[in-house]
Structure 1
Amino acid sequence: MLRLLLAVFCCSMVQVAWGAAAGSRADSLQRLLTASRPDTNRVQLLIQLAWERTDDNPLKGIEYGQQGLRLARQLRFRSGECRALLMLGWAFMRTGNYATAIQTQVTARRLAQRIGYAGGVIHADNALGYAHLEQGNQQLSLRYFRRAVALAKKHHDIVLLTPILGNIGRAHLELGHPDSAWYYTWRGYELDLQQHDAHSEIGDLSILGDIEARRGHPNQARYFYQRAISRAVGMPVSYAVSRAYLGLARLARHQQPTAALRYARLALAAGQAGRYAKGVFEASDYLADIYADMGNSKEAYRYLRASAATRDSLFSQSRMTQVQALSFSEELHQQKLAEEGERAAARRWQFVLALALAGAVLTAVVGYLLISRRHLRREVEFVQERQRMERRHSKAILDAEQNERRRVGADLHDSVGQLLSAAKITLGALRRRLSLTDATHQELFGNSMDMLDEAVREVRSISHNLVPTTFTRHGLVQAVRTLLDRLRLGPCHLQIQLEVTGLQDHQLDSTLENILFRILQELIHNVTKHAQATELIVRLTCQPSELHISIIDNGVGFNPVLLKEGAGIGLRNVASRVAYLNGELAICSGEGTGTSTTLKIPLRVGPAPVLV
């Protein structure tokens, strides 16, 4: 009986110490609240007062929290509203009303996300994880804890990160992973000391004691439990103290049953002092087990009656909490409906504004189109006139080029060619009059006559290339055939194949034939000059609306990329002529694989770009 009275006295002293400390802070806040005005500072005071009363009297905590929530909503103080919801969630959790606690924390998290309050999101995730952990759903609690840790690290919020790690450790311990539990809880404990977070430190010390007990290290477990209890003096952390005392009771049960009873009663007292429902029930059940093992039915019955009275008191409080929770849930529901109505009204107003804006924009666009229509028509006419002028200019350039070729060719044939022929005749007459007996003189004279013959042939060739008589008399196909026949007789020793399809049925414009001949002349000249080919195929295929030209050789080939970077004058002229005809030019080649050049020339062309 003496031991029982001593244990009750110790429990009473613990309750008095916690009550005095909590009451002192609460009284100070209450005086500030009485003198405050209904503004955001009053909301902060109500929230702080609610936090102070949550551990010793959760009903009072809920009452203050709801007052702060209502005032915050009246003032449209969103961050204050979010903090009030977070506090209310913890208060409901302390009473064991986890459903309402989870509903409140989810509402707080949504609000925190909407207003960009990262700390509120972290706090809500931690609280949701704790609520599920208290109900035995460790896996789901870990998901919330990890999400809270990731966001806290992202925002470098060490203060909020500190208590989460210990909660993760407790979840791993309940899952049977003591090593992971130790890792996370010890990290949390180190941060507790670094951040001077005594509240979280006491909770982590209690969890470290549970971990060492699970590992089979009773001395280390006892050290952590006693450290948690000593650090909790004067602080409202009944949940941690209740677990610490219950841990000491489990360690002492088999070797020191009397001490186990004393610790279990202290665990019950701590739970009762802080209205920690889960701690009260666990301590009561453990006391019942101890008395059952001891066979002391009388003491067990007496204690169970006292425990039943305590439970009745807690259940009475729980029923009051449920009534408040129902009222609060309805308030949350009405608030949600009001917010949805506000959002619907905002969406309707935005829709009306969007329609008005769209109408204004449409009117402006129509007006602009009507005003600018005349300017656009003038601009189109100007562009068309410029294209016609460019076309005439290009045509004039081609005509001038062709006329100049004819003039130069005629001058070479009639002037230079005649002079060279006369010089040859004169040298021949001179040779007949001179009797050249010296072999060296005869050789020099013969070389001179040969060079004159070569010059005459070269002048004649240049003259015919500038103005091919075959092209003038017989058209494009015959001119190309004559050009290729000359190549067969030349020093290149090319095997040449000409394929013509469909051109007999089409009469091409003389200007078009002239441009095509110059293109073919340049491309074939490139083959003889650079390709080192032994075979050459030229295909001319005329379709109703398009002329296809292909020039294929089996020469050494080249890299087309390097050609684009340093194309010569001849190929640039070919490309500009093809562009003038609105055609397409494609060159396919590779080193050692020969070259294939393909042209597609439309026969019914519209305005063409300028030839440069």
Structure 2
Amino acid sequence: MKSFLLALAYCLCLAGPAWAGGPSARADSLLRQLANSRPDTSRVNLLIVLAWNRTDDNPVAAIRYAQRGRRLAHSLNFTRGECRSMLILGWAFLRSGNYPTAVQSMQAARRLAEQANYQGGQIHADNGLGYAHLEQGSPRLALRYFFRSVRRAQSIDDKVLLTPVPGNIGQAYLQLNQLDSAFRYATWGYRLDLQQGDWHSEIGDLALLGDVAAQRGHPEQARLYYRRCIARAQARPVSYALCQAWLGLARLAWQQNQADSALMYAHRALDASQAGGYAKGVLIASEVLADQYEARGDTASAFAHLHRASTTTGRLFSLNRQVQVQALEFSEQLRRQERGDELRQQQAQRRQNLLLGSLLVLLIGAGVGYLLIGRQHLRREVALVQDRQQLERHYAGEILQVEEKERRRVGADLHDGVGQLLCAAHMNLAALQQQLFLTNPQHQSLLATAVATVDESVREIRSISHGLAPVALLEQGLVPVVQQLLVRLRHSTPGLDVRLHTAGLPGPGLTVAVQAQVYRILQEAVQNVLRHAEATELTVQLLGTGIDLTLMVEDNGRGFGPKPVEGLGLHNIRLRARYLNARLEIDSRPGHGTILTLLVPLEAPPPPAAA
């Protein structure tokens, strides 16, 4: 509290020369400026300065000035000015002893500071709230506010705002009788005072350091602090600090049985309080003097000082009644202002709701229009996608048909051309083998090998021609052709265990074209297993349900990663699956084999004709 005013003045850019003309001269100058000012933010600042100037000697006048500044700032929507006025009001109520209203004012100031993001106002409000609780004997609660003020000031690295707070923390620890903590924070505050040139806070911290040293049992150090405080306070409006220092010296002298010195120091405290209009100091000093004169047996002087204390108490009581009237007026004005603000907020909210409703209707209309347009656009896109898919299927179908025709042509050529020639050669060689009588065993072996080779070539040509043009597919269906393929695979690959599982086949809707493409996909998958998988087991499953056909080819080979190399075989498989409008899935991991699954939708067969 002792240094809060000067820090507030720095924050408001109010700190000037060291009160050379005294409070009254400064007040006269400010009143002349106020009379010539316009009702703007400059007048708000002048009213705040006037209120601050009268806080120590006339709290009632300070409250009036601060009230005028608050009302003007509120009408101008000058939130920072209103916050500063509230802070001065809180300080004036604190000086007059009306702590509940002081807390109410400080809390309102803090809310305004938060709304305006005014860091300095929040720091001062926390400091003032802490001191209000400290004056009411709640030092632990006060420390919470003081430390919050310190953290905020340190977060913005503002030592001017930080300077007044450590001394107040020291005062709180002194009330808690934690003398080491009190000394540490008071010393920190004193160093900040010297760095920032804050003489107001410096004088108060010197008096506090004197009290701490006295409590710690260091009277000489306490006297040094008290005398330094008195020297720095000469010609400055800090009557409460002077009173505190002189009374501290009086207590030390009394403890050391220096009655005359104690009496002199107590008179100095009384003179300083009277000169500064510090009524509370007059009361305390008068009571100390009455006790000292009573101890000396001078009842007349003791009575005179008790009478002065009684008179001062009456003055304080009268002041308190005036302050109570001002506090009631302040609370009523604040309540009316809050009610008016609430009403304006409700009206603004209604206007905002109406505007939002209109905007919502417009947005809904625009959204409906956008959805309609988007729906039409989506339909066109879907139609384009369907057309593209149909073209792709048609293109794939033509490619596959051409490929199938070419396979059949090549198969027929092999079977009827090369196959027949090889058969004739085989027959001639066999006849020659029977007619020749060869005595040389080597010649017999060569002729037998030639006959066997031609025979093997005939069988190979037949196998290739049947693979290229499986006539059994047209005559017997998919399952027998697959069985024949796997039988040939078992004979040609002895190290591969081949298994086949079928169910539900043949089924309705399974056309020859579908069977041919499924067979070709199976051929490609088996060839991929033989070329790349290095598998020892191969399982083929053909499952029909009437509405779809599932082909599953599973091996226990080496598998591949998530991004396999797209070869010609896999490309052909995907092309045929796209033509069949089938879903193709390939699941493989390195070292865990591969599973190829093909799900082919089947067309429903036409209903039987009515008899």
Shorter chain as denominator, the TM-score bin is: 0.7 to 0.9
User: Is this contact kept in 2: 1:95–1:277, CA < 8 A?
Assistant: no
Query: Which residue identity lines up with residue 589 of structure 1 in the other structure?
Result: R
- Specify the SS of the correspondent of 2:165: helix
Distance 2:187 2:422 in 1: 110
Deviation of the 1:421 alpha carbon: 4.6
Name the residue aligned to 1:481.
483
Name the residue aligned to 1:163.
164
Residue segments in structure 2 that go unaligned for 5+ positions in a row: 1-17, 605-611
Name the residue aligned to 1:53.
54
User: Is this contact kept in 2: 1:94–1:277, CA < 8 A?
Assistant: no
Query: Which residue identity lines up with residue 217 of structure 1 in the other structure?
Result: H
Name the residue aligned to 2:324.
322
Name the residue aligned to 2:365.
363
User: Is this contact kept in 2: 1:57–1:274, CA < 8 A?
Assistant: no
User: Is this contact kept in 2: 1:166–1:184, CA < 8 A?
Assistant: yes
Name the residue aligned to 1:587.
587
Deviation of the 1:209 alpha carbon: 3.0
- Specify the SS of the correspondent of 2:502: strand
Name the residue aligned to 2:154.
153
Query: Which residue identity lines up with residue 62 of structure 1 in the other structure?
Result: I
Name the residue aligned to 1:36.
37
- Specify the SS of the correspondent of 1:216: coil
Deviation of the 1:29 alpha carbon: 2.1
Query: Which residue identity lines up with residue 535 of structure 1 in the other structure?
Result: E
Name the residue aligned to 2:235.
234
Query: Which residue identity lines up with residue 331 of structure 1 in the other structure?
Result: Q
Name the residue aligned to 2:416.
414
CA deviation string 1:265-304 (max 9, x = no partner): 5445555655667656665666666667777766544432
- Higher mean displacement: 308-317 or 526-535: 526-535
- Specify the SS of the correspondent of 2:255: coil
Query: Which residue identity lines up with residue 469 of structure 2 in the other structure?
Result: V
Name the residue aligned to 1:14.
none
Deviation of the 1:254 alpha carbon: 1.2
Distance 2:192 2:566 in 1: 71
Deviation of the 1:352 alpha carbon: 0.8
Q: Structure 1 122/444 Cα, relative in aligned 2: closer, same or farther at 3 Å?
A: farther
- Higher mean displacement: 382-391 or 110-119: 382-391
CA deviation string 1:224-274 (max 9, x = no partner): 332233222233333444433343344333113443444445445555655
The 5-angstrom pairing of residues 208-357 of structure 1 reads: 208-255=209-256, 256-267=258-269, 270=272, 299-357=301-359
Query: Which of 399, 404, 407 is the equivalent residue of 1:405?
Result: 407
Distance 2:536 2:41 in 1: 96
User: Is this contact kept in 2: 1:56–1:273, CA < 8 A?
Assistant: no
Distance 2:37 2:298 in 1: 57
Name the residue aligned to 1:109.
110
Name the residue aligned to 2:141.
140
Distance 1:223 1:309 in 2: 34
Deviation of the 1:525 alpha carbon: 3.0
Q: Structure 1 536/382 Cα, relative in aligned 2: closer, same or farther at 3 Å?
A: closer
Distance 2:112 2:551 in 1: 73
Residue 81 (str. 1) matches residue 85 (str. 2): no
- Specify the SS of the correspondent of 1:133: helix
Query: Which residue identity lines up with residue 206 of structure 2 in the other structure?
Result: L
Deviation of the 1:600 alpha carbon: 4.2
Deviation of the 1:134 alpha carbon: 1.8
CA deviation string 1:301-350 (max 9, x = no partner): 44322212112111211111111111011111111111111111110000
CA deviation string 1:427-467 (max 9, x = no partner): 77788899988877777777666665555444443333333
Q: Structure 1 383/18 Cα, relative in aligned 2: closer, same or farther at 3 Å?
A: closer
- Higher mean displacement: 437-446 or 486-495: 437-446
Identity level (%): 51
Distance 1:435 1:233 in 2: 150
- Specify the SS of the correspondent of 2:174: helix
Distance 2:279 2:438 in 1: 142
CA deviation string 1:133-171 (max 9, x = no partner): 222222322222233233323333332122223223333
Name the residue aligned to 2:70.
69
Query: Which residue identity lines up with residue 485 of structure 2 in the other structure?
Result: L
User: Is this contact kept in 1: 2:206–2:225, CA < 8 A?
Assistant: yes
Name the residue aligned to 1:22.
23
TM-score normalized by structure 1?
Answer: 0.83
Query: Which residue identity lines up with residue 585 of structure 2 in the other structure?
Result: L
CA deviation string 1:54-93 (max 9, x = no partner): 1222222212212222222233322222211111111111
Q: Structure 1 382/533 Cα, relative in aligned 2: closer, same or farther at 3 Å?
A: closer
Q: Structure 1 379/130 Cα, relative in aligned 2: closer, same or farther at 3 Å?
A: same
- Higher mean displacement: 313-322 or 477-486: 477-486
Residue 396 (str. 1) matches residue 398 (str. 2): yes
Q: What value does the CA root-mean-square deviation take over the aligned residues?
A: 3.5
Name the residue aligned to 1:95.
96
- Specify the SS of the correspondent of 1:497: strand
Aligned length: 585
The 5-angstrom pairing of residues 572-583 of structure 1 reads: 572-575=571-574, 577-578=576-577, 581-583=581-583
Distance 1:290 1:551 in 2: 113
- Higher mean displacement: 152-161 or 542-551: 542-551
- Higher mean displacement: 133-142 or 169-178: 169-178
CA deviation string 1:557-603 (max 9, x = no partner): 34533xx1544443454455546534251414353x44444444444
Query: Which residue identity lines up with residue 236 of structure 2 in the other structure?
Result: M
Distance 1:579 1:182 in 2: 87
Distance 1:241 1:447 in 2: 133
TM-score normalized by structure 2?
Answer: 0.84
User: Is this contact kept in 2: 1:203–1:228, CA < 8 A?
Assistant: yes
User: Is this contact kept in 1: 2:414–2:461, CA < 8 A?
Assistant: yes
User: Is this contact kept in 1: 2:396–2:575, CA < 8 A?
Assistant: no
Distance 1:359 1:297 in 2: 89
- Specify the SS of the correspondent of 2:163: helix
Deviation of the 1:392 alpha carbon: 2.6
User: Is this contact kept in 1: 2:559–2:588, CA < 8 A?
Assistant: no
Name the residue aligned to 1:570.
569
Distance 2:357 2:463 in 1: 79
Query: Which residue identity lines up with residue 37 of structure 2 in the other structure?
Result: S
Query: Which residue identity lines up with residue 195 of structure 1 in the other structure?
Result: Q
Name the residue aligned to 2:14.
none
- Higher mean displacement: 454-463 or 149-158: 454-463
User: Is this contact kept in 2: 1:58–1:95, CA < 8 A?
Assistant: yes
User: Is this contact kept in 2: 1:173–1:211, CA < 8 A?
Assistant: yes
